[in-house]
Chains A and B, each alone.
Chain A
Amino acid sequence: MALSSTARLPAAEPAKRPARPGRRLAPYGFLAPFFVLFAAFGLFPLLYTAWVSLHRVELQTSDRMDWLGLQNYTRLLDDPFFWNALRNTFTIGVLSTVPQLLMALGLAHLLNHRLRGRAFYRVAMLMPYATSVAAATLVFAQLFGRDYGLINWVLSSTGLHPVDWQAGTWASQLGVSTIVTWRWTGYNALIYLAGMQSIPGELYESAAVDGASRWQQFRHVTVPGLRPTIVFTVIVSTIGATQLFGEPLLYEGNSGGGISHQYQTLGLYLYEQGWTFFHLGRAAAVAWVMFLLIVLLALLNAAIAARRNRTDR
Chain B
Amino acid sequence: MTHVTTQALDKPAAGKRSSVRAGGRRARSPLHGGPLAHAVLIAATLLAVLPFYWTLVAASRSNAELSAATPALTPGPNLFHHMGEALRQAEIGKALLNSLLVSGTVTAGVVLSSTLAGFAFAKLRFRGRGALLALTVGTMMIPPQLGVIPLFMVIARLDLQNKLPSVILPSLVSAFGVFFMRQYLVQALPDELVEAGRTDGASLLRIFRSIVLPVARPGMAVLGMLTFMATWNDFFWPIVALSSQNPTVQVALKSLGQGYVPDQSVVMAGTLIGTLPVLLVFALLGRQIVGGIMQGAVKG
Q: Which residues does A use to contact B, with CB under 8 Å?
A: 1-2, 5-6, 8-9, 12, 15-16, 23-24, 26-31, 33-35, 37-38, 41-46, 48-49, 52, 57, 62-63, 103, 106-107, 110-116, 119, 121-128, 130-143, 147-148, 150, 153, 182, 185-187, 190-191, 193-195, 197-198, 201, 204-205, 214, 229, 232, 235-236, 239, 242-243, 245-246, 249-250, 253-254, 267, 271, 274-275, 280, 283-284, 287-288, 290-291, 294, 298
Contacts and interface: CB of A to CB of B under 8 A. Distances in A.
21 contacts: A1-B183, A2-B186, A43-B139, A48-B147, A49-B149, A57-B149, A112-B29, A113-B32, A125-B48, A126-B290, A127-B48, A128-B51, A130-B282, A131-B275, A132-B235, A132-B250, A138-B271, A185-B48, A191-B293, A197-B29, A243-B146
Interface string B140-184: 011111111111111011000000000001101101001000010
B44 interface: yes
B31 interface: yes
Interface stretch (B6-14, B76-84, B114-122): B114-122
A113 B33 CA distance: 5
Contact of A253 (B40, B151, B257): B257
B273 to A, nearest CB: 10
Given A34-B116, A132-B235, A190-B294, A138 B267 contact: yes
Contacts of A131: 52, 233, 275, 278-279
A33 B173 contact: yes
Given A37-B113, A124-B45, A30 B119 contact: yes
Contacts of A271: 236, 240
Contact of A235 (B47, B141, B172, B204): B141
A27 B126 contact: yes
B62 to A, nearest CB: 12
A121 B149 contact: no
A130 B142 CA distance: 22
Interface in B256-295: 256-259, 264, 267-268, 271, 274-275, 278-279, 281-282, 286-287, 289-290, 293-295
B49 interface: yes
A182 B175 CA distance: 27
Given A124-B48, A148-B71, A245 B278 contact: no
Given A110-B33, A127-B279, A280-B149, 14 more contacts: A15-B199, A41-B170, A44-B147, A63-B156, A114-B31, A121-B45, A123-B289, A132-B275, A133-B233, A135-B253, A137-B257, A138-B257, A139-B51, A298-B141
A239 B143 CA distance: 8
B150 A275 contact: no
B196 to A, nearest CB: 10
A110 B191 contact: no
Given A114-B29, A243-B143, A191 B294 contact: yes
Contact of B253 (A29, A46, A138, A198): A138
A45 B150 contact: yes
Given A34-B114, A114-B26, A287-B146, A132 B33 contact: no
User: Which 4 pairs show the lowest CB-CB distances between chains A and B?
Assistant: A45-B147, A113-B33, A123-B286, A132-B233
A165 to B, nearest CB: 15
B133 to A, nearest CB: 8
A141 B176 CA distance: 32
Interface string B221-236: 0000000010011011
B149 A283 contact: yes
A134 B240 CA distance: 14
A201 B29 CA distance: 7
Given A204-B30, A287-B149, A134 B257 contact: yes
A55 B199 CA distance: 57
Contacts of B298: 194-195, 198
Nearest to B276: A135
Contact of B150 (A52, A138, A229): A52
A35 B44 CA distance: 43
Given A126-B289, A135-B275, A243-B143, A147 B191 contact: no
A33 B249 contact: no
Given A148-B71, A187-B293, A232-B300, A35 B170 contact: no
Contact of B116 (A31, A45, A254): A31
B136 to A, nearest CB: 8
B20 interface: no
Contact of A139 (B54, B119, B172): B54
Given A31-B116, A134-B250, A113 B31 contact: yes
Contacts of B275: 131-132, 135
A42 B123 contact: no
B38 interface: yes
B264 to A, nearest CB: 6
B143 to A, nearest CB: 5
B186 A201 contact: no
Contacts of B203: 26
